[in-house]
Amino acid sequence: MSSRRPRSPAAAPPLEDDNLLSEILLRLSPDPSSLPRASLVSKRWLGLISDPGFSRRFLLHHRRNPPLLGFFNPFNFKPVMDPPNRVPDGRFPSCVDEDDGLGCFIPLGCRHGLVLIFLKSQKQILVRDPFNGEKHRLPVPPLFDAEVTPISGSVFRAAGDIQHFQVVLVGTEVDKQQHTRAIACVYSSETGGWGDRISTPLPSRASMGELPNKINMYFTVSVLVGHSLYWLLRHISAGTCTLDGILKFDLERQILAVIPAPVDIAKNNIGQLQVMRADGGGLGILFLSKLRAQLWKRETNSDGVASWLLGRTIELDKLLSMNSKKYRGPVMIQGFAEYNNVVFLRTTIGDFKIQLESLQVKEVPNSRILTLYYPFESVYAAGI
């Protein structure tokens, strides 16, 4: 007599399993139109997508590949994506308003859906969430004399966190012995306070016949590479801008260090250098030399010795259809989007954004004034 195994209940189709369907929806493109389109499939799909828990997971899943929604110029938002992904005009308000008072406003950058601004006249740091208008005002630590110490800063969220944020302020100072040092301090929204003072010596300029001086860090925007933040250290004297090195802040070990810059690009104008993520990862520098864009990368050999290597060179005159023999105006870097590897360039024939890997070019609205662009990269689902 033959025995038959009892039949197991038929498994539910994959799209009828809410857990499996959520995992599928989680992997949709982070473009603004992806989730709204998916929510139109059925009320069930809309319910899953509208759940706050799903929204949090979707944001974290795409933390490292957010779309470039646009840029602040410097305070008003300018969208750059095409329909249906284009953020509607007026969706993001100005980063500063009457409540922030009058005076000098200095943008310090954007990251992880937040905008960082230095309110110089109030001696405050403003962290703003353009999605909901939420604002956090932080007093500038006493160690930063905002009247005489040029400062820069960076905002970020730790991995796996979409609620709390941290701010790193960096600057330079000259002590009583006339030694120049870089200083830093970290704020945590979780603890609600600033941490201890962190410092490191900066290269001496005495050998160059110059008096010690604070290195200008205004309008120096950071880049996040791995677990470290980087800023260019620029020294301006007699109309000449010299790259003194790259300031590194290790987020895990909470230490500052100075990395030497490539000697071939030590002296240059302010708008022709940008620290960036290199091809394949690691630290890099974008350097504009006339109508060429050079991509440098810092590499370490088998003996642990680090050095700079010149990688790709992009012929901008060919890419932007400029006649190099007739073009006389400068080409300047206006902004850099670290996650999308996109650079914004200002030329006398227009303003452009260039994706450095695909070399896709798109013209962007020309600013009437010479200003920096602060790219805003974040996950945004219109209408959800």
CA torsion, ordered 149, 152, 155, 156, to nearest 10 deg:
-120
Q: What is the pLDDT of residue 76?
A: 86
Specify whether the CB–CB gap between 168 and 186 falls below 8 A. yes
CB 164 within 8 A of CB 184: no
Task: Please identify which residue in the block is written with the tokens 């944020």.
Answer: 165
- Tokens 């709390």, located at residue: 164
Q: Residue 269 has what pLDDT?
A: 59
293's tokens: 């864009």
- Percentage above 90 pLDDT, the chain: 52
Sign, CA dihedral 374-375-376-377, equals: negative
Strands 193-194 and 180-188: antiparallel
Residues whose CB is less than 8 angstroms from the CB of residue 192 and which lie 6 or more positions away in sequence, other chains included: none
N-to-C CA span, the chain: 61
Handedness of CA 298, 376, 187, 137 (dihedral sign): positive
63-377: which CATH topology? Neuraminidase (2.120.10)
Q: Is 234 exposed, middle or buried (0-12, 13-18, 19+ CB in 10 A)?
A: buried
CA distance linking residue 195 with residue 142, whole number of Å: 12
Neighbouring-strand partners of residue 333: 345
Question: Quick one: pLDDT at residue 266?
Answer: 62
Which positions of the chain have pLDDT values less than 50?
206-209, 211-212
pLDDT of residue 145: 73
Alpha-carbon dihedral sign for residues 351, 355, 361, 362: negative
In DSSP terms, 344 is beta-bridged to 335, 353
Where do the domains of the chain lie? 11-62, 63-377
Asked whether the beta carbons of 277 and 339 are under 8 A apart, the reply is no
Task: For residue 384, give Cα distances in angstroms to 38, 52, 86.
Answer: 11, 10, 15
Cα–Cα distance between 275 and 281 in angstroms, integer?
13
Q: Which structure tokens are listed for 310?
A: 């010149």
- CA gap 96, 75 in Å, rounded: 7
Q: What is the pLDDT of residue 205?
A: 58
